[in-house]
Structure 1
Amino acid sequence: MSDYRRKMFRGAKIEDCILDFIDMEKELSRTFETAGEQERQLLLGMSKAYRLIVNRLVREFDYPKGGDSVNTKIKELISSLKRRTSEAKEQSENTLTDLVNGMYYADIPEEAKEEIAKVPQPLQKGLFEGMAVGYEKIIIDLELLLESSDHNKIAHIEKNAAKYKKIADMLKDKFKEDEADFRSGYIQGEMAAYGIVREEIQIIFNVKE
């Protein structure tokens, strides 16, 4: 595409299109919960199509890397992480057996039940508390970025993704596989939080390694 066409198509109209497709994708997500199996397959395909269109518009029309669509994605990720933080804190107060009992315990093989019962409670508690703390630290980063007036927030997101990888690698060296105490669980939980969010960032914001 020529520089002239890129300049002509930049601005509010393209931004509106991008936000419209994001809204349509969110609406599909809400419909997905109550849809049947065949309809879910169709909705999943449509959702991927909307996401591809958004990514294509961002690339082809030189859409500002700090515009409303980026802020919308940041807000959605913050909201998701806050929910996961709350869930992790709640789970830290329960045993894995209690959690599974409340969901699909009857469908789990006896061997798996026995393995779940063997997981030490301090390790379980540390794992979920570590995840909650990791998520909370990332939320702070994202909220600061959201309030920033920087016009290239994607650059900061890329730096954060690289930082999260370094932190996860550092935490990985702080525990041993055979340790089963609270400290080990905590470190593994925080490491998992950084690793999970880093992968999400790469997908959501089309960030490369």
Structure 2
Amino acid sequence: MSEYRKKMFRGAKIEDCILDLIDMETELSKSLETTDKQERQMLLGMSKAIRLIVNRLVREFDYPVGGGIVNTKLKEFISSIERRANEAQKQSSISMSDLLNKMYYDDIPDEAKEEIAKVPSIYQKGLWEGMALGYEKIIVDLQVILQSTENNKLVLLKINADKFEKLAHMFKEKLKEDEMDYRSGFMQGEMSAYTLIELEMKEIFSI
């Protein structure tokens, strides 16, 4: 697209469309929690399609990288992580087998069920609590970016995504596969939080 067309189409109407699409994706994500397996696949497909459209519009119409769209996406992202942190904290008091029984236990192979049963409850507790703490630390960092007056917030997001990747790598180096105590579970959980968020940040913000 030419520079002329980019500037001609850089207006409130296009931004309204982008923000509406982001809202639609958020509502779809909330619906995933209460749908059956077949409908969930359909909603995931719709969510991915909307995300592709949003990314294409932002890229094609040359929006400022530190503008309202980034702030809106960042607020939604932080809210999503807050929900995950709360859920992980709740699950720390539930055994893995009980948790899976409430979800899709019938879809899990028998071999996997046996492996789950062998996981010590203290390791499971550490896993969820480590994940919750990791999410909470990430939220603090992202809140700082949200409140920043920096024009190009994508630079700050990239710096933090790289930091989360390094932290995950650091935890991975310290982990010992044969240890199944609380400390190992906690480290595994915090590492998982950093890994998941780093990957999501790079996809959501195209960094």
Relative distance call for 1:157 and 1:102 in structure 2 (3 A) is: same
**2:141 maps to 1:141:** yes
Relative distance call for 1:182 and 1:73 in structure 2 (3 A) is: same
* 8 Å Cα contact 2:85-2:135 kept in structure 1: yes
Deviation at 1:2, TM superposition (A): 2.5
Amino acid at match of 2:26: K
TM-score using structure 1 length:
0.86
- What is aligned with 1:51? 51
**2:166 maps to 1:166:** yes
Deviation at 1:110, TM superposition (A): 4.9
**2:115 maps to 1:115:** yes
Distance, in Å, in 2 between the alignment partners of 1:121 and 1:78 is 29
TM-score using structure 2 length:
0.87
- What is aligned with 1:204? 204
Relative distance call for 1:165 and 1:15 in structure 2 (3 A) is: same
Relative distance call for 1:40 and 1:171 in structure 2 (3 A) is: closer
Distance, in Å, in 2 between the alignment partners of 1:76 and 1:160 is 17
- What is aligned with 1:89? 89
Q: Quick one: percent identity of the two aligned structures?
A: 62
Task: Name the SS for the 1:10 alignment partner.
Answer: coil
Distance, in Å, in 2 between the alignment partners of 1:196 and 1:35 is 24
**2:2 maps to 1:2:** yes
Amino acid at match of 2:144: L
- What is aligned with 1:65? 65
Any stretches of 5+ residues in structure 2 without a counterpart? none
* 8 Å Cα contact 1:78-1:139 kept in structure 2: yes
Relative distance call for 1:39 and 1:204 in structure 2 (3 A) is: closer
* 8 Å Cα contact 1:11-1:63 kept in structure 2: no
Task: Name the SS for the 2:143 alignment partner.
Answer: helix
Deviation at 1:40, TM superposition (A): 5.7
Distance, in Å, in 1 between the alignment partners of 2:11 and 2:82 is 32
- What is aligned with 2:75? 75
Distance, in Å, in 2 between the alignment partners of 1:7 and 1:20 is 21
Any stretches of 5+ residues in structure 1 without a counterpart? none
* 8 Å Cα contact 2:26-2:76 kept in structure 1: no
**2:176 maps to 1:176:** yes
- What is aligned with 1:192? 192
- What is aligned with 1:24? 24
Task: Name the SS for the 2:187 alignment partner.
Answer: helix
Relative distance call for 1:125 and 1:162 in structure 2 (3 A) is: same
Deviation at 1:3, TM superposition (A): 2.2
- What is aligned with 1:98? 98
Matched positions, count: 206
Which sits farther off after the overlay, 98-107 or 27-36? 27-36
Distance, in Å, in 1 between the alignment partners of 2:47 and 2:120 is 41
